[in-house]
Structure 1
Amino acid sequence: MTVVRRAQPWLSTAARLLLGGVLVVAGALKLPDPAEAVRAVRAYRLLPEGLVGPVAFGLPVVEVAVGLALLAGVFLRTAALAAAVLMAVFTAAVASAWARGLQIDCGCFGGGGEVAAGETGYPAEVARDVALLLVALALARWPRSRLALGGPAAGVREPARV
């Protein structure tokens, strides 16, 4: 057995805890102030007004739910793919705001909305989200990890032993 193969479950565990922790923190910081979440979503100018509220209220709940699944180690492949979708959407939204010259705080960890010129952090936000997207995709590909509650029920098949 190669070193990489032996290390893979621990690498997946680290990926799971990192990604899950980021999602739980990001979602939990948005939950206490729904009006702030609405301002953050509205600032992107991507959704019709009728969808701003539901997205602003629902997104933090989805982030926390996916994050908790990753932290607990249940439904790992599904949770990792959901996290990848979230990261791809976040990356596209921030890149869109950047490309359109909007001056907004991403609202990724609470806050959000219009900011003064020069106060945006688009390059760092895109880099962070792309890195987390890659972590999520790697975890979806190699979900077997340590300290996880899930096993076969989590969508993770153990390799056949020869």
Structure 2
Amino acid sequence: MDTSTTKPTAERSNRWPWIALVLRLVLAGVFLYAGLPKLTHLDASRRSVRAYDLFSYDVANVIGTILPLAEVALGVILLVGLFARFAAIISALLLVIFIAGIASAWARGISIDCGCFSEGGAVAASQTKYPQEIGRDIVFLILAGLLAWRPRSRFSADGALWG
């Protein structure tokens, strides 16, 4: 049997769990970095969601309260590698929502800081960074998509529980 054609495939399949580990840890870091500071500044999180002017005051406040909790929970789940495919899909959905929200603010001429990794809110038009924020989130969306496609990774709770 000619192993020259099977060896590269085997090597790639041996590398993927390590690549998936990196993807999982990067996404976990992103969501933890975004969510943890907001937990101690829920008023700023609520204000950031209200700045998008997409929801009523009360709905924006609920979203601004729940979002940091969801980000931290998602970060922890990704960190330990539990239900990695599901967590990656939820990550991707959140990122699509974030991209749509930023694009909506940009299209409507609203000048805000997205609030992704900061307190967010209204800023001067010259301070908006919509293309960079959307580009960054697209990169994270690609990472989430790759992890959803092939979620098996090293050092994961999934692997410990289900092999």
Instruction: Tell me whether the two structures share a fold, i.e. TM-score over 0.5.
Output: yes
Residue of 24, 33, 37 corresponding to 2:41: 33
| Equivalent position of 2:63 in the other structure | 55
Contact 1:75-1:153 within 8 A present in 2 as well:
no
Identity of aligned residues (%): 44
| 2:94 matches 1:90 | no
| Equivalent position of 1:144 in the other structure | 152
Residue of 63, 68, 80 corresponding to 2:76: 68
Task: Work out which of the two has the higher radius of gyration on C-alpha atoms and give 1 or 2.
Answer: 2
SS of match in other structure, 2:85: helix
| Equivalent position of 1:24 in the other structure | 32
Aligned residue pairs: how many? 155
Give how far 1:152 is off: 7.9
User: So what's the TM-score if we normalise by structure 1?
Assistant: 0.91
| Equivalent position of 2:4 in the other structure | none
Contact 2:153-2:159 within 8 A present in 1 as well:
no
Aligned Cα RMSD in Å?
1.4
Q: Show structure 2 runs of 5+ residues with no match.
A: 1-6
Give how far 1:109 is off: 1.0
Identify, as 1 or 2, the structure richer in helix: 2
Give how far 1:82 is off: 0.7
Q: Distance in 2 between matches of 1:46 and 1:153?
A: 41
Residue of 76, 85, 92 corresponding to 1:77: 85
Contact 2:24-2:147 within 8 A present in 1 as well:
yes
Contact 2:83-2:158 within 8 A present in 1 as well:
yes
User: So what's the TM-score if we normalise by structure 2?
Assistant: 0.90
